[in-house]
C-alpha cells in the first residue's frame, strides 16, 4: 500500500500561471473598474460562450445564485412544485426553497445517477411549475426525454449544470437544452473564477431579465424594472476565469486520461460499481460505488491513514435533510447510492502515478 507524504485532497483548483492572471489584473489597476459589469466580465462572458458553443452567458457571483436567478427570471408562480433530484448538492434544494417553491423529489436512475426521466411524468400534478434536474458529476441527463416531457406538460426546464462545463450532446452544448442552464465556476469546478457562476438562457428576453435581476433590478437605461439582487461577478473573478479558460481543453483531456486510468485499474473489482456515463461526460469527478456502506467506511478510513482524502459527494441524499424538508418522502435509490458512493481525488496537477497508486490502494482494500 502506498502512503503519501503530503495530504492528497479530493480536488485542487486548476489555476493558470499567475503571470497570465496578472495581465488582466493590471488592466483593473489601470482603469479602477472592479465591478458593475466591467470590461473583463463582459470579455469572460464572450469567451466562455464561444468556448462552450452558446450565444450568451450571464456571469454571476456563484452557482447557487445562478439557479435562484434562473427560477426568478422565468416568473414561475411562487408556491408551485418543482420536480428535482434528491441526489445533488444542497444548493440545488436550497435554491428552490429560498425562491419560495416546493421541491418534489423524483428518484434517480441508479446507474447514471441522474433524475430518472421515466419517474417524472408520474410526479407531475396541477401544482407543478418546473423540472430542475442536475447533470450529476458532469454526466449529461437524458435531456431529449426531459425537454420533451417539459414541452408536453407546459413545464419550464431549468438544468442545474454546475458540473457540466464543456459537455456537448448531439453535437451541441448541453447548455442549449431546457429553458435555462445554471453552471458554477467555484474553485472546485472544472473551470473556476474562484467563486462564480454562469446562466445560459435560450430566450434573449430571459437573458435580458437575468442581467436586470443580477444588478438590483436595473435595466440598461438604469430604471428599476423588477426586484433584483446583487449577483454580479467582479472583475477580479473574471480575470481568473479568462486566464483559466485558455487551459480548458487541456484540463478536460487530462481529466479523461486520469478517469480512464482509475477505471482501468478498478473495473475488475467485483465489489465496486461505477456511474454509467455518456461518452460526452466531462469526467470532472471520479465516483466509485461500493457494494456496502461498511466497505465505503473501511476504504475511506484506510485511505485517510494513507493521507488520501476522498469525499462523500453527495451524501446524505438531500431529501433526508430534515431541517429543510421535514416532510419529504423516502427516495430509496438515491439514499442507497448516497450511502455507498465516494469520490476519489481527481484534478489537473495530480500526477498520473499518484492516480495509479491511489487506484491500486483501493483495489487492494476492497479485495
Judged by the rule CB under 6 A, the positions of this chain that interact with ligand T4K are: 9-13, 62-64, 88-89, 91-92, 134, 160, 162-163, 184, 186-188, 197, 309, 311, 313
- Nearer Cβ to ligand T4K, position 8 or 269? 8
What are the residues facing 344 on neighbouring strands? 286
Whether the link from the prior residue into 262 is cis, omega within 30° of 0, is no
Pairing of strands 197-201, 156-160: unpaired
Q: What torsion, rounded to 10 degrees, do the Cα atoms 80, 184, 195, 253 define?
A: 170
- Nearer Cβ to ligand T4K, position 14 or 269? 14
Cβ of residue 7: shortest distance to ligand T4K, in angstroms?
Answer: 8
Q: What torsion, rounded to 10 degrees, do the Cα atoms 200, 202, 208, 209 define?
A: -80
Cβ of residue 271: shortest distance to ligand T4K, in angstroms?
Answer: 25
Q: Does the active-site annotation cover 189?
A: yes
Q: 251: left (phi > 0), else alpha (psi -120 to 50), else beta?
A: alpha
- Nearer Cβ to ligand T4K, position 165 or 269? 165
Distance in angstroms (rounded) separating the CA atoms of residues 20 and 130? 42
Cβ of residue 303: shortest distance to ligand T4K, in angstroms?
Answer: 13
Catalytic residue among 189, 222, 258, 363: 189
Cβ of residue 183: shortest distance to ligand T4K, in angstroms?
Answer: 8
Alpha helices in the chain (DSSP H): 18-31, 39-52, 63-73, 90-98, 143-153, 204-214, 235-245, 248-266, 293-305, 332-340, 352-366
- Nearer Cβ to ligand T4K, position 38 or 197? 197
- Which residues belong to the active site? 189
Amino acid at each position: 500500500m502506498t502512503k503519501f507524504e503530503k495530504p492528497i485532497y479530493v480536488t485542487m483548483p486548476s489555476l493558470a500561471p499567475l503571470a497570465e492572471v496578472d495581465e488582466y489584473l493590471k488592466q483593473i489597476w489601470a482603469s479602477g473598474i472592479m465591478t458593475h459589469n466591467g470590461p473583463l466580465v463582459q470579455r469572460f462572458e464572450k469567451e466562455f460562450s464561444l468556448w462552450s458553443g452558446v450565444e450568451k452567458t450571464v456571469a454571476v457571483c456563484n452557482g447557487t445564485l445562478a439557479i435562484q436567478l434562473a427560477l426568478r427570471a422565468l416568473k414561475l408562480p411562487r408556491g408551485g412544485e418543482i420536480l428535482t433530484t434528491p441526489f445533488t448538492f444542497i444548493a440545488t434544494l436550497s435554491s428552490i426553497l429560498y425562491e419560495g417553491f416546493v421541491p418534489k423529489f423524483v428518484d434517480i436512475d441508479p446507474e447514471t445517477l441522474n433524475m430518472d426521466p421515466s419517474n417524472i411524468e408520474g410526479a407531475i400534478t396541477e401544482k407543478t411549475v418546473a423540472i430542475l434536474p442536475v447533470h450529476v458529476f458532469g454526466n449529461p441527463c437524458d435531456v431529449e426525454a426531459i425537454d420533451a416531457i417539459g414541452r408536453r406538460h407546459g413545464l419550464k426546464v431549468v438544468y442545474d449544470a454546475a458540473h457540466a462545463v464543456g459537455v456537448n450532446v448531439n453535437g451541441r452544448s448541453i447548455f442549449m437544452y431546457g429553458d435555462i442552464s445554471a453552471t458554477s465556476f467555484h474553485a472546485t469546478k472544472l473551470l473556476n473564477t474562484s467563486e462564480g457562476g454562469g446562466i445560459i438562457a435560450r430566450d434573449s428576453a430571459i437573458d435580458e431579465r437575468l442581467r436586470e435581476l443580477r444588478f438590483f433590478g436595473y435595466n440598461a437605461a438604469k430604471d428599476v424594472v423588477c426586484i433584483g439582487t446583487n449577483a454580479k461577478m467582479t472583475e477580479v473573478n473574471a480575470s481568473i476565469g479568462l486566464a483559466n479558460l485558455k487551459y480548458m481543453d487541456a484540463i478536460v483531456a487530462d481529466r479523461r486520461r486520469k478517469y480512464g486510468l482509475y477505471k482501468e485499474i478498478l473495473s475488475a473489482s467485483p465489489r465496486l460499481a461505477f456511474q454509467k456515463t455518456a461518452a460526452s461526460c466531462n469526467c470532472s469527478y471520479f465516483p466509485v460505488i461500493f457494494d456496502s456502506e461498511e466497505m465505503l467506511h473501511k476504504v475511506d478510513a484506510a485511505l485517510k491513514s494513507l493521507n488520501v482524502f476522498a469525499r462523500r459527494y453527495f451524501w446524505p441524499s438531500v431529501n433526508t435533510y430534515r431541517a429543510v424538508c421535514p416532510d419529504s418522502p423516502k427516495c430509496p435509490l438515491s439514499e442507497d447510492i448516497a450511502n455507498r458512493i465516494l469520490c476519489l481525488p481527481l484534478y489537473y496537477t495530480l500526477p498520473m502515478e499518484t492516480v495509479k497508486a491511489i487506484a491500486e490502494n483501493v483495489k487492494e482494500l476492497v479485495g
